[in-house]
Structure 1
Amino acid sequence: MEKSAFRCVECNKNALELHRDYSNGILKITICDSCQKPVDKYIEYDPVIILIDAILCKTQAFRHILFNTSLNIHWKLCVFCLLCEAYLRWSVLQQGSEQSSDPADIIRYTKEWDFYGMFGLAALELMAFCGGVFCFLWLSVGLLGARPQPLDPQQLLRALLLSCYGKVLVIPAVIWEHDYSPLCLGLIKLFVLTSNSQAIRGRGTFSSLLFQ
């Protein structure tokens, strides 16, 4: 990763390095010139702690993941989350429909075309959501009349996709089905939206004018 891509997890300012390597394996964390705090405290943390802070929607954890690591699984995570959401919708559809002995219906259930349809629908909704976020940020900043740093669409898209990890929680919600499943699914959607907003806030640039 290029050093110019590093960011301070506290104030979101650019940093030349995360740590300095002295002789005999001695490492010293770099202090940010702007906020006088460690540029990235998470480089000393265990990945499990970083994951917990991300689940708690801490902006610093999102900045660490987005700017100071080479994590590049956002597309794989996106496909997995879409599969989870498609399965949830498909299971609800199957529960609401009665099984039929008609050969045409048997073939349809065998091929599970409904599942692929739900996957396509979830993908379209995700694309619409990401496009809506882009339009909202551009229009909002335009109305503010400010001139922020250039927006990196690829980086913002990566932030949105990574912050959709909460959709994985639909798996235990489906497995442990009970009377409160609709409430659980609503809370999961709220959690995903909260993660999206924190990821956008951690991304900075345009969104810093809106959320800070």
Structure 2
Amino acid sequence: MSPATDASDLNGDGFRCVNCGRRIGKLFVQYSPGNIRLMKCDNCKAVADPYIECEFMIIFIDLILHKPKAFRHLLYNVLNLEKIDIKGISLKSGLMNFILDAYRVSLLIRSKGSRDSSRSSLEFTWTCLKVFLNVLIGNLIFVTVLWIGIRVLLRLNYHICRYREILLAVLVSSYFKMFFLAMMVWDFPFASIFIVDVFVLSSNTVAIRVLTQLMTSACTVLCLCAHSAKFLASHWLLHLL
């Protein structure tokens, strides 16, 4: 945990400075429509969140570059748990991740089997059931390993380790899965699936590091274990079913 950030400061919702992670009451003061003044952080004396005045594409590029400031802006100041419908966003993000994971598994199944279009409806139904079970069990194992690991690393601190924040951070930081949508339209090498997996792993690592203030090495090992458990479970089920 960063020495500049107290453990008590990690508890609770609210806006955060994207530079040091400290809580801040206001991000800006609005004098009139289109006329605002960005607030400075009392701790680091820098502008608390300069991303407020940035275009979406600039923020998205910084997220792709894995800049912690962009992740703090997204997780704390955009997805503020006091201001948004956390259940609605979590359900929509979870459904999107589930669908993209299902497409990923279907690509793996297709690469191992034939592409005969004359398959029976029973075989098609069985394939859909395999995909559903694979994605469901794989994600349950992933979330379980991740949750247990964070609880252990944070010494079972119930105030810091909050399930909804961790779940939302993982779902949102898995945005690299959207590249599977491009694979529905264009042909990509089979290795592209695992390249996307690596980017998702690294993005999850940055998000959890920003959320928990744990060391980068600890977050990397934690996410690697969770993704490895999901990967092994998925491939075991592919051969079992």
User: Shorter-chain TM-score category?
Assistant: 0.7 to 0.9
Paired-residue identity, %? 28
The CA distance in 1 between the partners of 2:44 and 2:158, in whole Å, is 20
CA RMSD in angstroms, aligned pairs only: 2.8
Question: Which amino acid is 1:195 matched to?
Answer: S
- The range that moved more, 35-44 or 16-25, is 16-25
The CA distance in 2 between the partners of 1:49 and 1:123, in whole Å, is 34
CA contact (8 A) 1:4 1:16 kept: no
Question: Which amino acid is 2:142 matched to?
Answer: F
Q: Alignment length, in residue pairs?
A: 198
Mark the runs of 5 or more structure 1 residues left unpaired by the alignment.
none
Question: Which amino acid is 2:22 matched to?
Answer: K
Question: Which amino acid is 2:122 matched to?
Answer: R
CA contact (8 A) 2:174 2:203 kept: yes
Question: Which amino acid is 1:10 matched to?
Answer: N
Mark the runs of 5 or more structure 2 residues left unpaired by the alignment.
1-11, 218-241
Question: Which amino acid is 2:38 matched to?
Answer: I
Question: Which amino acid is 1:119 matched to?
Answer: F
Larger helix percent: 1
Deviation at 1:50, TM superposition (A): 1.4
Equivalent of residue 29 in structure 1, options 23, 33, 38: 38
Counterpart for residue 108 of structure 1: 122
* CA 1:27–1:202: 2 relative to 1, 3 Å: same
CA contact (8 A) 2:170 2:204 kept: yes
Counterpart for residue 142 of structure 2: 129
The CA distance in 1 between the partners of 2:134 and 2:178, in whole Å, is 17
CA contact (8 A) 1:169 1:188 kept: yes
Residue 19 (1) aligns with residue 28 (2)? yes
* CA 1:58–1:161: 2 relative to 1, 3 Å: same
Matches within 5 A, 1:118-197: 118-142=131-155, 150-173=160-183, 175-178=185-188, 180-182=189-191, 184-197=192-205
Deviation at 1:25, TM superposition (A): 5.8
* CA 1:114–1:29: 2 relative to 1, 3 Å: same
CA contact (8 A) 1:7 1:14 kept: yes
Counterpart for residue 203 of structure 1: 211
CA contact (8 A) 1:7 1:39 kept: yes
Deviation at 1:17, TM superposition (A): 0.4
Deviations 1:94-152 (A, max 9, x none): 35334497xxx512245x34124313321321222122112112222339xxx796222
Deviation at 1:175, TM superposition (A): 3.9
CA contact (8 A) 2:150 2:161 kept: no
Matches within 5 A, 1:67-106: 67-70=76-79, 73-98=89-114, 99=116, 106=120
The CA distance in 1 between the partners of 2:176 and 2:33, in whole Å, is 42
Question: Which amino acid is 1:31 matched to?
Answer: K
Residue 64 (1) aligns with residue 51 (2)? no
Deviation at 1:153, TM superposition (A): 1.6
Deviations 1:137-173 (A, max 9, x none): 2222339xxx796222211111011111111212324
* CA 1:4–1:192: 2 relative to 1, 3 Å: closer
Deviations 1:49-102 (A, max 9, x none): 21221122221111111111246534323222221221232243235334497x
Question: Which amino acid is 1:35 matched to?
Answer: C
Deviation at 1:211, TM superposition (A): 2.9
TM-score by length of 1: 0.80
CA contact (8 A) 2:151 2:161 kept: no
CA contact (8 A) 2:105 2:135 kept: no
Question: Which amino acid is 2:134 matched to?
Answer: L
The CA distance in 2 between the partners of 1:156 and 1:166, in whole Å, is 18
